[in-house]
Amino acid sequence: MRASETAYQLLRDEIIQWKLEPGTPLGEVETSLRLGVSRTPLREALSRLIAEGLVRTGPGRTAVVTSLSLRDIVELFELREALETQAARLAARRREPSVFEALRAEFLTGSRDASGASAEDRPYDLADALDVAIDEAAGSVYLQGALRDLRGHLARVRRSAHSNADRLARATSEHVLIVDAILAQDEALAASATSVHLHNSLANILASLPPEAAR
Amino acid sequence: MRASETAYQLLRDEIIQWKLEPGTPLGEVETSLRLGVSRTPLREALSRLIAEGLVRTGPGRTAVVTSLSLRDIVELFELREALETQAARLAARRREPSVFEALRAEFLTGSRDASGASAEDRPYDLADALDVAIDEAAGSVYLQGALRDLRGHLARVRRSAHSNADRLARATSEHVLIVDAILAQDEALAASATSVHLHNSLANILASLPPEAAR
DNA sequence: GAGCGAGCGTTTGTATACAAGGTAAAGTAC
DNA sequence: GTACTTTACCTTGTATACAAACGCTCGCTC
């Protein structure tokens, strides 16, 4: 694999998994030595991360890991609602029934065959699988591109707020509602069901981290 | 100005203004010589353009200017509708009245004071000013980022389809409708008015370039 | 003692040299 | 004559060396 790609993947993972906390400076020489690549491919990786919004250029042209305040989370969900409701609409219009029928069964039984992940990650895997299926069914390159960038930020949010069992059960039923709407090719309902899910999801996140307001 | 930034701006302008046609290969040595920069900053510029979607990597890792088919235009508008209706909603919620009152007056009189552009570009300037005002009023960094990327592609579409006087007049009235809804803080109406405008705009574009279906 | 300025050091920005990969063309064998 | 293989060139990928800009600190002056 190309060194620039390696550096990009490594840094992206570290940022999403909070191994690199917001505000961490990413000096070029230091980081390139740490990752075992030269400065040239590292700079390319940083460029991509900056374009993606996970890294920003701080004072003095230094690259630092982007912060993720409460306001950021709210704004992220405002963008997410715009993109995912549209994706749900388009998916309802163009979906391949078999894909979503399979997902529906998995949601109802809670199984996820091919996944080798741990039990506690399973609900997330299933939700991610639905996201991927909707993105693909929407069939828009540009929408998919915007969603891809968004997902990185959202993965970071997920790490900062954990769901309880009750929320997970409710989320599953919300997901089934979305799948049913897509299968019924009901665009308006698919969008509404997505909107409902996102509002509940955001409310759960906000409720789980009020003590420290700013991050 | 940094060489990488220069190269980025130059290439972006050339692509948007169709001076570089879709499919044009951007060999690193050739392009770097042409723009008068070294390969290193050029590669950074290309990275950004690839992330933005204006350039894609073709077979053999060569960079080529992205094509813009009829399908691309439709997909672009599907993304645009998602982003701009949401931006309009948020702008209606958070707008600064004076900004939009000023824009409303400009739309009705057709004037644009500070602009030094030619007469035929004026309607576009005004529409762009409204876009900027809405983006800022929406007050979401992430939404704004997604819109910024989108605008580059849309500028390219605009170049491939010209509006007649009739369409421009209708567009202006549609814009006034959007401004009024934002001023009235009617989020649903602002979104609907935006949706209407985008559908009409797309219909006009599609009608103006049917002869050659694929581009 | 405080504020301004100059110089040094560390940082990013750029260029070039080198390496590796992939593609196309040409030649040979079937 | 066609298909496959091999080789050579051209392209991109990486590393390193050099230049310039910025910040910080120390010293001088008011």
The mean pLDDT of chain B is 92
Cα B77 from chain centre: 11
For strand D, which nucleotides have at least one atom less than 7 Å from a protein CB? 11-17, 22-23
Q: Which CATH number fits domain A3-65: 3.30.360.10, 2.30.300.10, 1.10.10.10, 1.10.760.10?
A: 1.10.10.10
DSSP string, A113-144: SS--S-GGGHHHHHHHHHHHHHHHHHT-HHHH
Domain with CATH 1.10.10.10 in chain B: 3-65
The minimum CA-CA distance between B164 and chain A, rounded to whole Å, is: 28
Would you say A160 and A207 are in contact if contact means Cβ atoms under 8 Å apart?
no
Max mean pLDDT range (A110-114, A208-212, B147-151): B147-151
Task: Provide, as residue numbers in chain A, all residues whose Cβ is less than 8 Å from the Cβ of B51.
Answer: 47-48, 51-52
- Rounded to 5 degrees, φ, ψ at B57 are -90, 120
Q: What pLDDT is stored for residue B163 in this prediction?
A: 83
pLDDT at B154 over 90: yes
Count of other CB atoms within 10 angstroms of residue B166: 9
pLDDT at A161: 84
Q: What is the mean pLDDT of residues A157-183?
A: 93
Contact A82 B85 (CB under 8 A): yes
pLDDT range class, residue A209, cuts 50, 70, 90:
confident
Q: What angle do CA B179, B171, A93 make, to 5 degrees?
A: 90
Which has the closest alpha carbon to A63: A33, A20, A19?
Answer: A20
Mean pLDDT for B25-30 is 96
CATH 1.20.120.530 residue window(s) in chain A: 70-208
pLDDT at residue A140 greater than cutoff 80? yes
How confident is the model at residue A71, as a pLDDT? 95
Mean pLDDT calculated for residue range A174-193:
98
CB contact under 8 A, B82 and A145: no
Alpha helices in chain B (DSSP H): 3-16, 28-35, 39-52, 70-94, 97-109, 122-138, 141-159, 165-183, 187-208
Instruction: Mark which residues 83-142 of B lie under 8 Å from A by CB.
Output: 83, 85-86, 90, 139-142
Contact B142 A53 (CB under 8 A): yes
Give the span between the Cα atoms of B22 and B30, in whole angstroms. Answer: 17
Contact A197, A109 (CB under 8 A): no
CATH code given to domain A70-208: 1.20.120.530
